[in-house]
Amino acid sequence: MNAPFDACQNGAVRQTPMADLLISVEAPWHRVEQGPPQAGRVPLLTAFRPELGWPRWLLRVPMAWHGGDGYERLPGALQIEDWVPPSRGRPGDPWRFSVAVDQFPGAAPTAQDQAPGLLLLAVYLEPRVMALEGFHHGCLHGLDGQALRDQMESALLQLLDLPPSQWRQGFVLSPRAEAPPRLTLALAACQYPPGLLDVSPGCNDDPAQASPAFAAMARLQHWARHHPDGRALSLLLLAGDQIYADASGGLADSRSGIERYGRAYGEFKAGPVRHLPPSVRRIVHSVDDHEIVDNWEPEARGHVGPWFEAARQAAWDHRWEAGPRTGGPRCLWHDFEWEGGAFFVADARCEREARRAANWSRARLWSEAQREAFSDWLARSHGRPRFMLCGSLPLPRRRTTAEHAASCLRSDAWDGYPHSQHELLSEIWRHRARGLVFLSGDEHRSGWISARISPVGDAPQDSVQDSVWVHSIHSSALYAPWPFAVTAKEELAAPEVFEFDGPDGQRLRCEVSAWHDHPGDGVAVLSVVGTQLHLWFDRAERPLHALGAGADRPAPCARLDLE
């Protein structure tokens, strides 16, 4: 590989003193998210640093990524575009835009380890330029043509002299024609916000320097960026509680919707997650309670509380999809396909009905419309690995619920709404959706179970044929500092067997395996290998980035059948 940036450096320009620069070039505040090409353009999503205001220009630089922190500037002219402020919003808000496909560089025929793309940057006028307004006939600057390009080149080289961790979030890969050989994804949840003592800027380069609040995400980005196996990671699923709008339990939480939600989402996206490598091409989030208020559900008579509407709107506004989004603030559930896998992102929070002693057996966790959409998705996704993402735990049930049905009123998971839980399992059995995987993350505890759904009363040979196996994988928190908020494994009813009414009057039985426990903060990594799903859990005492690769790869914690 050539020395980074040698291809386009100009010695004379590089000697331009900083005192003569009238502009500065800055990386965006958030990583650049990418959607599939639409009508010859690539949808993109990012945000600008709020303290810098709106930029004057946008700058695109052809570059290549060689893995890790290896970047190389490619031959080609700088792509300069005037900035047109949006009609609404402010700096720091999500900014959705697009770039023509032909603006992205293609891969060189002989460069096997080279991943081409664009470095997207914002260009600002230096504050002192304001003082020059009178010298330019009322304009803030006299830059155009070659003078502007020289200034851009000099400011760009000043930025590229900094460590890549200062600007790499602005790099986005060129659209690719081929999918990777197998689907690998990470599952995470529950990022309690950092405090004053959690500042750890060095964690972007060395996860050992991370404070507890940033440690799990720092380990994930280091593994994905620098480990041979991590390069296969293409999808991150966030199973709820991406922010804690109620971090102090109401004691000192902001009373401003902008501060409470918009700023919180912005700061999460500006944290270690922005340093995930460009090979992680998609991030998807499912909303849960702390993005509204702890254990949110409607109050008696259906009152939703003062924060519900603002929280739901913020969850929609700050979705990670760069391209067209399906649904809206009142319809947060959706499905998508990714690298051969089918995904249903359920909304297990915002459609809940108020519960009380008189209606616990029929109250709904999800709407009938969402249930029908889930059923339709099951019919469309046959023959592929299937995953359902939600914040709340679908299986296993709470031990209290298993021992006394009305105790479901004390559960915040799916078993707290037995009617909806039975609907969920019934639809899976009706469609014979074998191998479906539940992905969730509200209990602050990692583990997994397998469960068999079968009809009651069948002969043994018919029962085996009609049985449907599902798996439930739960990821612990990225950061959960309060022990009282971590579900004890003794609270989970696993193993257990329970029965319920299925479709068309058929009685069904659900046999839940023992709970396989993996305590501690961190993420789950899942990889589809043939007809199996391999599962690992990253932990501080055994980080994935410190383990072997290839033939030396550690055995997975589980091998789950997908058929």
Predicted confidence (pLDDT) per residue in 240-260, tens digit: 999 998 877 766 677 777 788
pLDDT in tens, 246-304: 877 766 677 777 788 989 999 999 999 999 999 999 999 999 999 999 999 999 888 99
Q: Give the mean pLDDT of 307-332.
A: 92
Q: Which two tokens stand for residue 195?
A: 């405090």
Examine the pLDDT at 137 and tell me if it is beyond 80: no
Residues 391, 315: Cα–Cα separation, whole Å: 13
Q: Is the pLDDT of residue 9 over 60?
A: no
Q: How far is Cα 170 from Cα 33, in angstroms, rounded to an integer?
A: 9
CA atoms within 13 A on the CB side of 531: 5
Distance CA 433, CA 430 (A): 8
* Higher pLDDT, residue 3 or 329: 329
Q: Looking at residue 461, what is its pLDDT?
A: 53
Helices 368-380 and 418-430, interaxial angle, to 10°? 20
The H-or-E segment that residue 15 falls in is none
Residues 62/118, Cβ–Cβ less than 8 Å: yes
Cβ neighbors of 214 (< 8 A, separation 6 or more) are 194, 198, 200, 203, 271, 272, 479
Give the pLDDT band of residue 139 (cuts 50, 70, 90). Answer: low
Q: Which residues contact 255 (CB under 8 A, 6 or more apart)?
A: none
pLDDT score of 462: 58
Domains in the chain (CATH in brackets) are 6-173 (no CATH), 184-561 (3.60.21.70)
Distances 133 to 24, 145, 281, 501 between C-alpha atoms, Å: 18, 19, 43, 76
- Three-class DSSP category at 409: helix
pLDDT value for 2: 43
Q: How far is CA 392 from CA 365, 413, 417, in A?
A: 10, 5, 11
Q: In which band, very low, low, confident or very high, does the pLDDT at 113 lie, cut at 50, 70 and 90?
A: confident
User: Which 3 state secondary structure label does DSSP give 393?
Assistant: coil
Q: Cα(118)–Cα(103) distance, rounded to whole angstroms?
A: 9
Largest CA distance in the chain: 92
**DSSP state letters, 187-255:** EE--BPPP-GGG--GGGGT-GGG--HHHHHHHHHHHHHHHSTGGGG--EEEEES-SS-TTTTTTSS--S
| pTM summary value | 0.93
Of all residues in the chain, what percent carry a pLDDT higher than 70? Answer: 90
**Residue range 170-188: mean pLDDT, rounded:** 88
Handedness of CA 430, 433, 434, 440 (dihedral sign): negative
Task: Tell me the backbone φ, ψ of residue 375, rounded to 5 degrees.
Answer: -60, -45
Distance from C-alpha of 158 to C-alpha of 155, rounded to nearest angstrom: 5
Check residue 4 and give its pLDDT: 45
11 pLDDT exceeds 50? no
Report how far residue 68's alpha carbon sits from residue 185's, in angstroms, rounded to the nearest whole number: 19
Contact by Cβ (8 Å): 237, 187: yes
DSSP string, 278-312: TT--EEEEE--GGGTSTT----GGG---SSHHHHH
What order of strands is seen across the sheet that includes strand 41-46? 33-34, 41-46, 95-100
| Residue 136 banded pLDDT, cuts 50, 70, 90 | low
Structure tokens at 173: 């890969």
Q: Is 79 helix (H, G, I), strand (E, B) or coil?
A: strand
Q: Is 227 left (phi over 0), alpha (psi -120 to 50) or beta?
A: beta
Region 377-387 average pLDDT: 97
- 476 near 521, Cβ under 8 Å? yes
Starting at the edge strand found earlier in the chain, the sheet holding 184-188 runs: 282-286, 235-239, 184-188, 524-529, 532-537, 558-561
H helical segments located in 227-359? 257, 264-269, 308-317
Q: Name which of 198-202, 241-245, 416-420 the model is least confident about.
A: 198-202
User: How big is the CA angle at 73 (ends 71 and 76), to the nearest 5 degrees?
Assistant: 155
Tell me what pLDDT residue 3 has.
Answer: 43
What's the alpha-carbon Rg for the chain, to the nearest Å? 25
Residue 540: per-residue pLDDT = 93
Rounded Cα distance, 507 and 545, in Å: 47
User: What mean pLDDT, rounded, does the chain reach?
Assistant: 90
Beta bridge partners of 497: 511
Give the per-residue pLDDT at 144: 73
Compute the average pLDDT of residues 413-421.
Answer: 98
